[in-house]
Amino acid sequence: MATPRDAHTEVPHALLRRPVRDIASGTEGTLMAVLVENTAAVGLPERWAEIAYVRPVGGGRELSTAVANIEAV
């Protein structure tokens, strides 16, 4: 598959800059960005997905997760 034209760029999302929960880990925080990224392991065919970045409540290192794992708090 060819690289998507919008690869590694920010994707609009209704919950951007709002409180969210990552249902996979239970982490709550602020949705900082959603990016289109290649999630395939090295040496495997490309696999493009929308990845959400959540900054935990109180700050700290942002967590990345599939955008489907994000819900409003």
- 73 residues of the chain, pLDDT tens digit each: 456 666 677 899 999 999 999 999 999 999 999 999 988 899 999 888 999 999 999 999 999 999 999 999 9
pTM: 0.85
**Cα–Cα distance list, 4 to 1, 8, 21, 46, 72 (Å):** 8, 9, 28, 10, 28
Domain ranges of the chain: 19-72
